[in-house]
């Protein structure tokens, strides 16, 4: 999808199992199967089933080695929908840039993939309240011998930087003064990690959540993650928050979901659900970080 001024990266594609998975069970759903017509909330409550779309990207939403769907977004969705009275959540895996088109084609009813809330996407679909917020960080060799902490440091040190394809980190980097010749675009998180560990690049830029999770899953890789920072665009901080996505006319479903999401946030249950995937208290959206502001940014 097109990159906007306030868009962070269009999340990387994992080189994991790509297919269709069901949360908490073996039921599989064809990715091309369409949802029914009419009021989606009523239909889902009557069927006690709803269909979500993910992009197979850890830790936001992915199929594990058993073919079941997990990740922060599917698990939060599962808890919210259960509170609404919808017990069965089925997931389809599609490429990230096809999530909103597939949603609007009624292949599923909700995108649960940690999708960043941006003005461009708000024109194509309906977003929930912010589910989480995130900072940007750098993956660097253990000990960080070059001492880079920000993209401006990368530019000043003239070290090589990896970004992911379809990622706005490249724009952030060039805006910070990193030359195009020092930026390498890669297609997966595994290749990004490999590039840093082999010295092909010195650093790789991504959200702090993703990089912390990546480092945790590879404890012997000899890498570390810098403290998170807020990128800037034309001197202004870049707001980064992810949410769940609905079709434009599914306001009743979105509103019911928002009510439960707010309860999960305020009760502490969200943190219990999200913590295993690398999220912490700092990722809870601030009260003044609203979807309306993000859509209008």
Query: H/E/C letters for each residue in 139-152?
Result: EEECCCCCCCCCHH
Cα–Cα distance for residue pair 218/49, rounded to 1 Å: 36
Higher-confidence position of 170 and 71:
71
What confidence tier does 28 reach under pLDDT thresholds 50, 70, 90?
very low
Q: What is the mean pLDDT of residues 71-84?
A: 98
Output the pLDDT for position 168: 67
Whole-model pTM? 0.78
Confidence grade of residue 288 (pLDDT, cut at 50, 70, 90): very high
Say if residue 92's pLDDT is above 60: yes
Residue 139: phi, psi to the nearest 5? -95, 125
pLDDT of residue 170 exceeding 70, the answer is yes
| pLDDT beyond 50 at 24 | no
Cβ–Cβ < 8 Å for 132, 285: yes
Percentage of residues of the chain with pLDDT beyond 70? 86
pLDDT, residue 143, reads 98
Instruction: Please give the span between the terminal C-alpha atoms of the chain, in angstroms, as a whole number.
Output: 17
H helices of 48-117, in order, are 72-84, 99-104
With contact defined as beta carbons under 8 Å apart, do 125 and 245 qualify? yes
- pLDDT tier, 167 (very low <50, low <70, confident <90, very high otherwise): low
3-state secondary structure 178-235: CCHHHEEEECCHHHHHHHHHCCCCCEEEEEHHHHHHHHHHCCCCCEEECCCECCEECC
Checking if the pLDDT of 233 tops 80, the result is no
Which of the four pLDDT bands, split at 50, 70 and 90, describes residue 292? very high
């Amino acid at each position: 999808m097109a990159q906007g001024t306030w868009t962070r990266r269009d999340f990387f594609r994992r080189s994991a199992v790509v297919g269709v998975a069901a949360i908490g069970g073996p039921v599989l759903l064809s990715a091309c199967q369409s949802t029914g017509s009419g009021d989606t909330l009523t239909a889902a409550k009557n069927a006690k089933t709803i269909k979500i779309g993910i992009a197979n990207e850890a830790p936001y939403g992915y199929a594990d080695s058993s073919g079941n769907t997990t990740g922060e977004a599917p698990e939060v969705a599962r808890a919210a929908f259960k509170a609404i009275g919808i017990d069965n959540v089925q997931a389809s895996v599609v490429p990230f840039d096809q999530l909103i088109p597939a949603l609007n084609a009624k292949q599923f009813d909700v995108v649960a993939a940690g999708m960043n809330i941006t003005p461009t996407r708000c024109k194509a679909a309906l977003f929930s309240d912010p589910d989480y917020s995130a900072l940007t960080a750098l993956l660097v060799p253990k000990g960080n011998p070059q001492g880079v902490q920000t993209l401006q440091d990368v530019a000043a040190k003239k070290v090589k930087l990896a970004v992911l394809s379809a990622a706005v980190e490249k724009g952030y980097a060039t805006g910070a003064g990193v030359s195009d010749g020092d930026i390498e675009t890669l297609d997966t998180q595994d290749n990004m990690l490999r590039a840093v560990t082999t010295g092909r690049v010195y650093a790789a830029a991504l959200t702090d959540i993703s990089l912390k999770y990546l480092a945790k899953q590879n404890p012997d890789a000899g890498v570390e993650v810098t403290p998170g920072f807020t990128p800037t665009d034309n001197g202004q901080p870049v707001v980064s928050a992810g949410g769940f996505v609905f079709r434009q006319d599914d306001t009743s479903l979105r509103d019911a979901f928002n009510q439960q999401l707010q309860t999960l946030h305020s009760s502490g249950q969200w943190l219990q659900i999200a913590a295993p995937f690398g999220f912490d208290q700092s990722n809870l959206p601030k009260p003044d970080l609203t979807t309306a502001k993000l859509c209008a940014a």
